Amino acid sequence: MYTVGYLGPKGTFTKMAVDGLFDNVNAEGFATIPACIDAVNDGKIDLGVVPLENAIEGSVHLTLDYLIHQVRLPIVAEAIVPIKQHLLVHPSFDGELKDITSVHSHSHAIAQCHQFIHKNLFGAEIHYTSSTGQAAQQVELDGGTIAAIGNELAAKEYGLKIWKREIHDYENNHTRFAVLQREETPIQIKNVENQGYKTTVLVTLPRDYAGALHQVLSAFSWRRMNLSRIESRPMKTGLGNYFFIIDVEQEYDHVLFPGVQAELEALGCQMNILGSYPTYLLSEDINTVENK
């Protein structure tokens, strides 16, 4: 049986992703994303599931930066998870929205609900936690007039009341999660919808010059390789120095990708493959506890 690490404690969206992807695994919660990645890298667990990007708030920089700068582990699968954020309170709370004095959650969850907070919880203090599950645990412990933003699974795990459902500011809220493995061996995924393959590459430019990024992109475009995302992250070596993280919508092959790599290297760029993996879309039902 695999041991699969996730950002804990119980009741996080990452745990939901694990439940949606795997049957019969031993799921182990970690307090932080780096702790989970390190455990995979040290061979303490078989797989790790970490958030990569949210449709409303964008990239999870902690994950990207840790994978780029600290621990290079291949991405072996991706799960796209529908995210429904609810306002959770202690069962003893019987006030109104205006009575809530503080809201606890993960920074990404808070960001997905900024408008709701601005309009309805104006004046409530915002407390950032390491995960939505941790915020729910805090409400269970402290009670009173504090609230958490999190999912139905967290409400169930910590015995909380869902005070208001679906408070995220935009519909179609999804988060992409990456499955990491140290040595790539076939993994067993539940019967969920396969959306095709992606390959994620990391490109470093030699220096900043006119048309550099255009040249990089044209190596993909004339080969008709479709890109679904391009993002720059600081190299952390000084202002103006960036990596480009590029998602290509196809599986790695031994013709097109080496061709791109040779072309980029001739320009003085570096290209590394962060993973070539199947992508799975989890169903909306995953947000409803009764359906699991």
- For residue 146, the cross-strand partners are 102
Using the minimum distance from each CB to ligand PRE, give the nearer residue, 13 or 257. Answer: 13
Distance between CA 159 and CA 172 in Å, rounded? 27
Which among 40-48, 130-138, 197-205, 255-263 is the span making contact with ligand PRE, rule CB under 6 A?
Answer: 130-138
Token output for 259: 């061709």
- Name which of 112, 81, 108, 105 is nearest 18 in CA terms: 81
- For residue 88, the cross-strand partners are 148, 162
24-53 footprint of ligand PRE as x/- string (CB under 6 A): ---------------------------x--
Q: What angle do CA 136, 56, 174 make, to 5 degrees?
A: 70
The yes or no reply on residue 12 touching ligand PRE (CB under 6 A) is: yes
101-120 footprint of ligand PRE as x/- string (CB under 6 A): -----x-xx-----------
Using the minimum distance from each CB to ligand PRE, give the nearer residue, 30 or 257. Answer: 30
Which residue in the set 79, 133, 157, 205 belongs to the binding site for ligand PRE (CB under 6 A)? 133
Beta carbon of residue 138, minimum distance to ligand PRE (angstroms, whole number) = 13
Which residue in the set 138, 175, 181, 199 belongs to the binding site for ligand PRE (CB under 6 A)? 175
Give the count of beta carbons closer than 10 Å to the beta carbon of residue 135: 28
Beta carbon of residue 197, minimum distance to ligand PRE (angstroms, whole number) = 23
Distance between CA 94 and CA 289 in Å, rounded? 23
The yes or no reply on residue 176 touching ligand PRE (CB under 6 A) is: no
Which residue in the set 4, 22, 29, 54 belongs to the binding site for ligand PRE (CB under 6 A)? 54
Beta carbon of residue 198, minimum distance to ligand PRE (angstroms, whole number) = 19
Length of the chain: 292
The yes or no reply on residue 138 touching ligand PRE (CB under 6 A) is: no
- Name which of 169, 173, 53 is nearest 114 in CA terms: 169
Which among 5-13, 70-78, 232-240, 280-288 is the span making contact with ligand PRE, rule CB under 6 A?
Answer: 5-13
Q: Give the amino acid at 78.
A: E
Q: Give the amino acid at 72.
A: R
Residues 6+ apart with CB under 8 A from 217: 227, 230
Which residue in the set 18, 60, 147, 153 belongs to the binding site for ligand PRE (CB under 6 A)? 60
The count of chain residues that interact with ligand PRE, using the rule CB under 6 A, is 15
Contact 228, 279 (CB under 8 A): no
Distance between CA 107 and CA 16 in Å, rounded? 18
The yes or no reply on residue 131 touching ligand PRE (CB under 6 A) is: yes
Which among 94-102, 127-135, 214-222, 272-280 is the span making contact with ligand PRE, rule CB under 6 A?
Answer: 127-135
The yes or no reply on residue 261 touching ligand PRE (CB under 6 A) is: no
H or E element at residue 202: strand 193-204
Pairing status of strand 161-164 against strand 146-150 = unpaired
Report the interface residues with ligand PRE, using CB under 6 A: 7, 12-14, 51, 54, 60, 83, 106, 108-109, 131-133, 175
